[in-house]
Each structure stands twice: as C-alpha cells, then as structure tokens.
Copies of this chain bind each other. A is one copy, B any other.
Amino acid sequence: VSARAGIVVTGTEVLTGVITDRNGPWLGGQLSAMGVEVAQISVVGDHPEDIRKALGWLRDEGVDLIVTSGGLGPTEDDLTVAVVAEFQGLELELDDALGKRVGKILDGVSKRWKGIDPEALERSRIKQSTIPAGAAILEPVGTAPGVVVDPLSGDGPTVVVLPGPPRELQPMWEAAVESGVFSGAIAGRVQRERRIVRMYGLPESEVAATIIAARDSGISVDELEITTCLRSGEVEIDTRFEPELTGVYDAFAEVVRERHGKQVFSEDGSTTDEIVARLLLERNMTVAVAESFTGGLMAARLTDMPGSSDTFAGGVVAYTADAKVSMVGVDRAVIEEHGVVSVEVAEALARGAAERFGAQAGIGLTGEAGPESASGRPVGTVCIAVVVNGVVSSSENTLRGQRADVRERGPVNAMHALRRALQSSA
C-alpha cells in the first residue's frame, strides 16, 4: 500500500474567504507525484485547539505524514510550531545557533524598512528560533524556519511544518523532502502510475458513458482509480493505478481514443498552453493578440510560461472602438457595419495584431462579458478569430456564467482555436 499523508492549512483569512489557499493543492500535487496518497486537506482557523483537532483526526486516520502550512509569522496568532511540539510530546526550546541565523535575516529586514521597532524585531527573532526539541530545521527562505518533527513516542505521523507564503513554502518543501526524517516517514510508499487524458469539445456525460462502455466490454475499469473533471470546457480523465494494472489502463485508454479521438488533445500530461508553445516553437512562429472583453487575460496566459518571450510578440488590450482602429488598424467601417462584437471585428483584430507586432500568428477576441451589455449583444457572446500565416478562422459562441467566467473562458477557447490552426498548418 502507498504511504498516506494529510495536509493542514492554517489561517482564519483562508477559512473566511479573504484569501484563496494555494498551498493545499500545491502540496497535494507534490505528494501525489511522489506516489503518496493524500487523505485530506483541512483548512482551519488560527486557533490552537482547531489545529490540534485537525492533527488528531489525521493521526486517528493512520496517516504516515502530516504537512502544515502557515502560522509561523511574528504575530501572536501564529501558533503552529507550539501546537505541533505539544502534539508530538516535545518541549519548545530556543535554538541559539538558529537564533543567530534568523537574527542576520532580520538585520536585513530592518535595513529595508525605515523606523522599524527593534523590540518587535527581537521578539520575532526569539519566537521564530524557538522550536520543538530535536526537530530537524528547514532553513528560512523568508524570516521563519520550518521544522520536521517526529513524535517523541515513536508512534504516529511525522509532521512537516512549513510557512504560509507560497514562495517560502515551495523551496522549503524541497528541503523537507530531502531530510532523513521525511524519507523515514514515507518509507513504505509505492510509486503508483498516473495518466491524464485531456479532451476539448464534449460534455462530461459522454465520458461517463465511455467508462460504462469500457466496463461492459469486459475491461476491469473498477480496478483503476478514475476521476473525471470538467473545467473551463476541458474534460480531463485522471487515472491512478498500481503498476501491474498498466494493461487494464491501456485497454481503457484505447476505448477513450476510439470514442473521442477527435476531442483528445493530450495524453502525456501536457496542458493546452504547453502544446501551443511547442507548436509555435516547432514552426518558428510568434503570436500576437488583440483583445477586448478578456482585458489582458489572453496575453497574460500566453506569457505565463517561462520562455514565452520566444513565442509571444505582443498584445493590445483594445477596450474601445477608437483603440481598435488606432492601435490595431481595424477598419472603422467594419465596426459600424457588423458591430463591435462580431466575427468580422475579431478577424480584423487577429490580422491587425499579427501585422502590428510582426507575428506569423494572431488572435482576436471581442465579446460581451457583462454584467450589463454595452454592445447590444447578449452577455456571454464571444467572437474569437485566429490567423496563422494569413489563413483566418473564426467562431461566435455564447458562454454561460458570470463576468469572471466569461473572461476566463474566452482565452481557453482561443487557445484551442490556435492549437487547431497550428496543427492544421503543419
């Protein structure tokens, strides 16, 4: 059996919706990728009792490892280290050597900020260098060290205590994984296999039917752990299985291909964005964008990945008709004839973007995100055009949902339109 883990995210601000937790899913992904099964992610407030209960539940569940995030800061509501020490039956001790290293970091902080209170800083230093006796230390990336703590009794889960800010948590997680205590905790792990099939352009119910069809044809799909997920128009089949069931998975994947070959765009884990970037690089092309209702989200998506300067030429956010004319070169007569939300304007935006930025590919998006319609077209109407080496394709669709959904979904549709255009331009 696989090693099992639980994740405890602390923070009243997460529980009450002030911020959205990124650490739980990230840690879940890291653990899954190393073959550790994640039993649960618990989000609890900054109360010692709530943190203690969440840890206790996971211990009762028999997990091998608990990872916590948050509650290592300098304020009084940051209590995780003290709670974990008590949970593992250990005393808190000031670690002098660690205290010196934290002190050096805080010296840097006091140079960056003017007029900082030296007493407050010293209290932070003491608090952040006080750790459970015998814990393995994870050196601070910000100001707070993390710890990896085994139970004093030798019986129960190992607890990895990490800070809340993702840019601190992520490198410290790498350090935790390399610690001996960590390896000991998940020693019994099995590397489970995982395959992801991604599809675009079909409803989730079709996938349900396909799983049943595979079972009816004698494939032991129930031995596989299959989860399906619909997001922003993409349907994903995520399958985990013990290595000896690879043959069963292969037979299932064949049924998926037979029934949805046209919709499958990824079987190797690649995302849409990775596929589009690869296609652009292979063809030695760059892409430019002119967008309206997506307000920069299309460009932001095209520049999200490292190395995007090799594939992205530039973008214009042309909210107004004037900007579409002056900044992208759309013919005002086309706007007047067809309306600002029209495939004709989307095509002119795609062509104009490619031309103005000297790119071989262009994307044009115009639509009505709401909440009220300014263009006269119904909210959710989106027109998307793609041009690749002068060949234009375009479509008009009506997206459901609220402003944020429409703004998010436009770039998804445009990425797939670009992917298809690039694939057929080979």
Q: Is A13 an interface residue (CB 8 A)?
A: yes
Is the beta-carbon distance between A230 and B73 smaller than 8 angstroms?
yes
Q: Is A75 an interface residue (CB 8 A)?
A: yes
Is the beta-carbon distance between A295 and B304 smaller than 8 angstroms?
yes
Which of B109, B121, B208, B316 is A317 in contact with, Cβ under 8 Å?
A: B316
Give the total of A residues in contact with B, Cβ under 8 Å. Answer: 114
Q: Is A94 an interface residue (CB 8 A)?
A: no
Tell me the complex Cα distance, A25–B313, Å. 37
Residues of B within 8 A of A304 (CB): 295, 404, 407
Q: Is A188 an interface residue (CB 8 A)?
A: no
Which of B45, B204, B315 is A74 in contact with, Cβ under 8 Å?
A: B204
Known: A16-B32, A205-B74. A319 touches B312 (CB 8 A): yes
Contact bitstring A226-237, B, C-beta under 8 A = 1, else 0: 111111000010
Residues of B within 8 A of A124 (CB): 205, 208
**Least CB distance, A191 to chain B, in whole angstroms:** 15
Residues of B within 8 A of A230 (CB): 73, 165
Q: Is A218 an interface residue (CB 8 A)?
A: no
Is the beta-carbon distance between A117 and B25 smaller than 8 angstroms?
no
The stretch of A35-43, A81-89, A175-183 that contacts the partner chain: A35-43
Is the beta-carbon distance between B120 and A209 smaller than 8 angstroms?
yes
Residues of B within 8 A of A327 (CB): 314, 316, 327, 356-357
Residues of B within 8 A of A390 (CB): none
A:286-329 near B, CB below 8 Å: 289, 294-304, 306, 308-309, 312-320, 322-323, 326-327
Is the beta-carbon distance between B42 and A227 smaller than 8 angstroms?
no
Q: Is A206 an interface residue (CB 8 A)?
A: yes
Is the beta-carbon distance between B238 and A12 smaller than 8 angstroms?
yes
Which of B77, B166, B211 is A75 in contact with, Cβ under 8 Å?
A: B211
Known: A296-B296, A304-B295, A403-B306. A77 touches B228 (CB 8 A): yes
Q: Is A30 an interface residue (CB 8 A)?
A: yes
Contact bitstring A209-222, B, C-beta under 8 A = 1, else 0: 10110000000000
Closest to A409 in B: B167
Q: Is A245 an interface residue (CB 8 A)?
A: no
**A17-B25, A57-B57, A314-B320 provided; 15 other pairs, C-beta below 8 A?**
A13-B236, A13-B238, A18-B25, A18-B29, A18-B229, A40-B50, A75-B205, A117-B205, A117-B206, A120-B208, A120-B212, A166-B405, A295-B308, A297-B300, A316-B316
